[in-house]
A = this chain, B = another copy of it.
Amino acid sequence: MSREYDERTTTFSPEGRLYQVEYAMEAINNAPCAIGILTKEGIAFGIEKKIISKLLAKIGESEKVYAIDNHIMCAVAGLTSDANILLQNARKNAQEYLYKYGQPKPVEELVEYICRIKHSYTQVGGLRPFGVSFLFAGWDKIHGYQLYHSDPSGNFSGWKAHAIGSNSTLARDMLKKDYKEEMTLEEAMMLEARVLFKTMDVSELSTDRMEFSVLRR
């Protein structure tokens, strides 16, 4: 039944759903899990690493966590090549702001900027949505530390703790139970490790399969 309405970005289903956007979200549910936790001291990302070939060379930055500007980093789940395009755009936009106004771009404005691009690919024919979700971690003078989540529809929202990627439902439940506002960064990373251990469903807790990143003012 749904088949008639799910091939084009520009078609609503009779229930008012945009199937292409929902399918793009599926691409994210198969990606490695990424967790972000907001603390008073800063923001910590905990990322699941696929068992990847030892032949893979680490040339520049992490596989799944990218710097956008000095005060903003992000974790990615979904199609990496889609993410690259958006990140290159975001970096350029952040630099232009810095150059123009002499101060770093507020985090929320940068997130909004990326989401506007994402959205534009969900309403015009002959395009497909970006198959990628982000967790953005940033700090600015207006709101201090901030953690945002954005999905393929171009939606975004602020979180204290959030998870994207495979088994993210389970991860979110654990976060909801164990998150505490007064956590230190170290406790946050400990929590992330525990959550990843569960979502990855492995018998032994090994740091080989995890990666942690921290954003501090």
Residues of A within 8 A of B (CB): 3-20, 23-30, 38, 53-60, 79-82, 84-85, 88, 108, 112, 115-116, 118-131, 143, 146-147, 153-155, 157-162, 172, 175-176, 179
> What is the bound-complex CA distance between A155 and B19, given in angstroms?
25
Residues of B within 8 A of A119 (CB): 81-82, 84-85
> Is the beta-carbon distance between B6 and A3 smaller than 8 angstroms?
no
Task: Please give the distance in Å from A167's CB to the nearest CB on chain B.
Answer: 15
A55 partner, pick from B8, B82, B161, beta carbons under 8 A: B161
Contact partner of A59 (CB less than 8 A), chosen from B3, B143, B162, is: B143
- Looking across the interface, which residue of chain B has its beta carbon closest to that of A118? B81
- Across the interface, which residues of B come within 8 angstroms of A17, CB to CB? 27
Counting every copy of the chain, the complex holds: 7
Q: Are B14 and A160 interface neighbours, CB within 8 A?
A: no
User: In the bound complex, how far is the Cα of B63 from the Cα of A157, in angstroms?
Assistant: 9
Are B57 and A153 within 8 A (Cβ)? no
CA distance in complex: A19, B24 (Å): 13
Q: Which of A10, A13, A17 has the most CB of B within 10 A?
A: A10
User: Would A128 and B121 count as touching, CB distance under 8 A?
Assistant: no
Known: A15-B23, A126-B126. 6 other contacts (CB 8 A): A11-B20, A15-B26, A16-B28, A55-B179, A81-B154, A124-B126
B38 in contact with A57 (CB, 8 Å): yes
Are A16 and B7 touching (Cβ within 8 A)? no
- The residues of B that contact A126 with a CB separation of less than 8 Å are 10, 124-126
Decide: A153 near B81, CB < 8 A? Known: A14-B26, A160-B57: yes
- Pairs across A and B, CB under 8 Å, 21 listed: A5-B7, A12-B20, A12-B26, A12-B27, A16-B23, A16-B25, A18-B79, A53-B172, A55-B159, A57-B146, A57-B147, A60-B143, A81-B115, A81-B118, A81-B122, A81-B154, A82-B123, A85-B116, A123-B130, A124-B126, A125-B125
